[in-house]
Amino acid sequence: MPLALPASSARSILRRVIGAGLRAADPASALLKCVHRAGHRLQVGHRRYDLRFFDRVVVVGAGKASVRMAQALERVLGPYLDGGLIVVKTGHRLPTKRVTVIEAGHPIPDRAGLEAAKQLCARAAELGPRDLLIVLLSGGASSLIPAPVDGVSLADKQKLTQLLLRSGAAIQEVNAVRKHLSTIKGGRLAEATRARIVTLILSDVIGDELTAIGSGPTTPDPSTYREAIAIMKRRRIWMKAPASIRRHLERGDRGDVSETPKPGAARFRRVQHEIIGNNEMTLVAAAQAAQRAGLRTVLFSTPLVGEAAQAGKTFASLAARLSEGNGIVRRPYCLVAGGETTVTVTGRGTGGRAQEFAVAAAGEISGLHKTWVAAIGTDGTDGPTDVAGAVVSGSTLDQAKRNGLNLRRALTQHNAYPALRALKSHIVTGPTGTNVNDLYLLLAL
């Protein structure tokens, strides 16, 4: 995997630490640790399946990491796999032998995703009780397989997605709304098939909340139409949303259309969910790499959440406190954290949460010698940009001023990308094939 980093005396260490974190999040390796086959016996976690019992074994799925998961599953199942279909972000396709791969738009759903969702649902619906459906889920699945309810168009879903993404809503809030406008999310996929289901999940949600990962297509949904409406009103997008969406949610709240399937529903007794990996495995691997490099290392147990700019300031402010010599951690050190921040967009700038995190951090470490903050999206794409994140140092703010760049304005206008590009501060990986939230590093040599 290519890993382009800004030139600095820390580049070698950052390359080792970030590279170790990304390699640890490889979906294929994670799946192979959890799924094994010996002859006709398939083991998934602590459960075993006799493949001779099933007439067909079919794979469906979606997400940025789903193609690497599919590659690994093809190796495990061999001749027992009867094919399948997965949907990945455009540009993330990899070769597979028995599973069809379709590319679609992310984060804004597109027509390719709409058609792929129809095919995916059709594959699942044709299966019977003597079939095994293996569902592969990772971050990005919600956008990649749009399946709007009757009366709601793809254009309506696209506008709503843009509103939600710019509102600063947490992923749980975004998906609670999506689930009540979909025929596939919120347990609807499980409802649509009679097959036994095994869902393998690479989590991009803090806390590994099953209902939020990919909007939980095979998971019972505890949220309601009323909650979806409340979220949209709280985020001040209710009146901005298309009328068709408001009408459907109001009908659901009145009981005129069915709710998503709830916990306790009999259908889910034949569904197994298995988390094969998450943000923690990236953080642990990064911390171990930092320790091997001779750095005093602290791994944060609490994820960073909330507005990206505020999280970046708070994280980076630790450098100034540690530089005062309070004895907690001495140079050389590396602080490692993960999480999933949000951005409430008010302008028309270009950027992403990792880049906003980095720009905000630059102000806090300004003037500190041999100090860097790195923020990277593990999927290799930060927001709607072609970079994974950025690295800033104690000299970034002065460098920006010398080049006539106003980082404060870039932050308030949510326009971090062009400023960081001018400063040559971007981290570039290309598609990584995984997606397990973000990685944040504070390094002082």
pLDDT greater than 80 at residue 347: no
Do 343 and 284 share a domain, yes or no? yes
Is 4 a domain residue? Answer: no
**228, 248, 278 - which closes a domain:** 278
Q: Which residue has the higher pLDDT, 328 or 225?
A: 225
What SS3 class is residue 106? coil
Distance, in Å, from the CA atom of 384 to the CA atom of 227, rounded to the nearest integer, reads: 28
List C-alpha distances in Å: 80 to 53, 58, 168, 259: 11, 9, 44, 36
- pLDDT band for 73, please (50, 70, 90 cuts): very high
Whole-number pLDDT of residue 348: 82
Q: How many domains does the chain have?
A: 2
Is 224 a domain residue? Answer: yes
Do 244 and 160 share a domain, yes or no? yes
Those residues with Cβ within 8 angstroms of residue 271's Cβ, 6 or more apart along the chain or in another chain: 190, 196, 197, 198, 199, 218, 219
Distance, in Å, from the CA atom of 238 to the CA atom of 241, rounded to the nearest integer, reads: 5
CATH, residue 377? 3.40.1480.10
**229, 250, 278 - which closes a domain:** 278
Residue-range definition of the domain harbouring residue 299:
11-21+280-444
Do 73 and 184 share a domain, yes or no? yes
What SS3 class is residue 76? helix
Distance, in Å, from the CA atom of 37 to the CA atom of 48, rounded to the nearest integer, reads: 9
Is 5 a domain residue? Answer: no
Single out the residue of 17, 16, 18, 9 nearest to residue 370, CA to CA: 9
Do 424 and 294 share a domain, yes or no? yes
Q: Which amino acid is at 5?
A: L
Do 266 and 304 share a domain, yes or no? no
Question: Sheet harboring 41-44: ordered strands across?
Answer: 35-38, 41-44, 47-50
Distance, in Å, from the CA atom of 57 to the CA atom of 54, rounded to the nearest integer, reads: 7
Long-range pairs of 35-39 with CB within 8 A, sequence gap ≥ 24 = 35/72, 35/73, 35/76, 35/200, 35/276, 36/76, 37/76, 37/77, 37/78, 37/80
Do 273 and 359 share a domain, yes or no? no
Q: For 101-150, what is each residue's pLDDT tens digit?
A: 999 999 899 999 999 999 999 999 999 999 999 999 998 999 999 999 99
Q: Are strands 41-44 and 84-89 parallel, antiparallel or unpaired?
A: unpaired
Single out the residue of 438, 429, 431 nearest to residue 89, CA to CA: 431
Do 226 and 252 share a domain, yes or no? yes
Q: For 283-314, what is each residue's pLDDT tens digit?
A: 999 999 999 999 999 999 999 999 999 999 99
Beta bridge partners of 138: 202
pLDDT greater than 80 at residue 267: yes
Q: For 386-425, what is each residue's pLDDT tens digit?
A: 999 999 999 999 999 999 999 999 999 999 999 999 999 9
Do 285 and 348 share a domain, yes or no? yes
Tokens 């791969």, residue located: 101
Q: What percent of the chain is modeled with pLDDT above 90?
A: 92
Is 2 a domain residue? Answer: no
Is 107 a domain residue? Answer: yes
**Could you give the count of Cα atoms lying within 13 Å of 185 in the half-sphere of its Cβ?**
30
Do 349 and 403 share a domain, yes or no? yes
pLDDT greater than 70 at residue 327: no
Is 121 a domain residue? Answer: yes
Q: For 148-182, what is each residue's pLDDT tens digit?
A: 999 999 999 999 999 998 898 988 899 999 999 99
Do 393 and 435 share a domain, yes or no? yes
- The DSSP line for 316-345 is HHHHHHHHT--SSS-SSEEEEEEE--B-B-
Q: For 241-251, what is each residue's pLDDT tens digit?
A: 999 999 999 99
CATH, residue 74? 3.40.50.10180
Q: What are phi and psi of 96, to 5 degrees?
A: -130, 165
Tell me the mean pLDDT in the region 79-91.
96
**246, 278, 310 - which closes a domain:** 278
Q: Are strands 131-138 and 196-202 parallel, antiparallel or unpaired?
A: parallel
Do 298 and 206 share a domain, yes or no? no
Is 259 a domain residue? Answer: yes
Whole-number pLDDT of residue 89: 94
Distance, in Å, from the CA atom of 9 to the CA atom of 15, rounded to the nearest integer, reads: 11
Whole-number pLDDT of residue 1: 66
| 63 token code pair | 């997400």
Q: What percent of the chain is modeled with pLDDT above 70?
A: 99
Do 260 and 286 share a domain, yes or no? no
130 touches 53 (CB < 8 A): yes
Give the single-character DSSP code of 207: T
Is 432 a domain residue? Answer: yes
44 membership: H or E segment, kind and range: strand 41-44
